Amino acid sequence: MSGPATARDIAERLNLTKHPRSWRGRCPACDYPGNTFSLREKRGRTSTYCANGCGHDQIDDALSRVIADFAPRPQTDDAASDAERRAKKQAAALRLWNGSAETGHEAYLCARGLGDLIGSTALRFRPDCTHPEGGRYPAMVALVQDVNGAHVAAHRTYLRPDRAGKAAIEPPKASLGPVWGGAIRLHPPAAELVVGEGIETSASAGVLIGLPAWAALSAGNLALGLKLPPEVRSVTIAADADSAGFQAAQSAASRWRAEGRRVRIATPDAGGRDFNDIIMEKACG
């Protein structure tokens, strides 16, 4: 191919799906499932967006690894503008978190067999949460904290009107603010933790194993980003039941073992079920 890759070229390489105004699919940086990543081309300029909160530097780096002729945007003005955008998104995330109620999401947790999470200080509810593609929906709002416990981002799980399941929209989940390196601390820090990707997977594995749980939100953040505080000495990684999930778990295990922590990887049993499927079956049984 001659010349830098176009948005269409990138979409084809990443197997993105064409939508009226964009291409969508899994983010090349964090590998978050669903149509969380969008790619647009306007006036000859390619723009990218990750609903899981990946920054432009992370996305450009990921695209450069998989697309040899991808040309990252010039760095002259982008460093300052990216920092400004991150700061604005972080401020918006904290406004969202501070403006959310402590109750309202219980029906969703119970429907997922996770009634034990009712009362978690990391979860709140907003009846009219803005969606990245437009519109407002009820949402469970989760707080993302960095390694020092600072509030850095928020994560939204959009809910049906009855709040007993996810809304039928794409993407059904989205982050706001810089989530890279952070986690949703479903329970307070402890010497032993379960860490997984999604809220439901992590919490379910924690219930089954009998340990407090944190959620990294994506395979990419679990593998390369999430930083654990020094008081966490032993980690059980709840791997997602797919090859990408297991590879992310192995990468995280290598990082944390190199830091002197005890690490093991837990996987769901055979049959394609994830940890929440097991919890749901136990609840129904």
Q: What is the pTM assigned to this prediction? A: 0.83
Which three-class secondary structure state does DSSP give residue 70? coil
| Grouped pLDDT means (10 residues each) for the chain, 285 residues | 69 86 84 78 78 74 73 53 81 96 97 96 97 92 98 97 94 91 97 97 97 94 94 96 86 98 91 87 71
Residue 186 phi, psi (nearest 5): -65, -25
Ordered strands of the 151-158 beta sheet: 123-130, 136-145, 151-158, 173-176
How far is residue 32's CA from residue 251's CA, in Å, rounded to a whole number? 16
- Which residue shows structure tokens 């809304």? 167
CB 197 within 8 A of CB 244: no
Between 199-209 and 275-284, two packed helices, what is the crossing angle to 10 degrees?
A: 60
Query: Domain-by-domain residue ranges, the chain?
Result: 7-73, 79-142+152-175, 180-285
Distances (CA, A) of 95 to 90, 105, 129, 182, 183: 9, 19, 12, 18, 18
What's 28's DSSP letter?
A: T
What's 183's DSSP letter?
A: B
How far is residue 217's CA from residue 231's CA, in Å, rounded to a whole number? 21
pLDDT tens-digit map of 185-211: 999 999 999 999 999 999 999 999 999
pLDDT, residue 112, reads 96
Residue 138 phi, psi (nearest 5): -65, 145
pLDDT, residue 270, reads 65
- Which residue shows structure tokens 């709140």? 124
Residue 218 phi, psi (nearest 5): -155, 160
Cβ of 123: how many Cβ atoms within 10 Å?
Answer: 27
Whether the ω angle into residue 33 lies within 30 degrees of 0, i.e. cis, is no
Q: Which CATH class for the 180-285 domain?
A: alpha beta
pLDDT, residue 138, reads 98
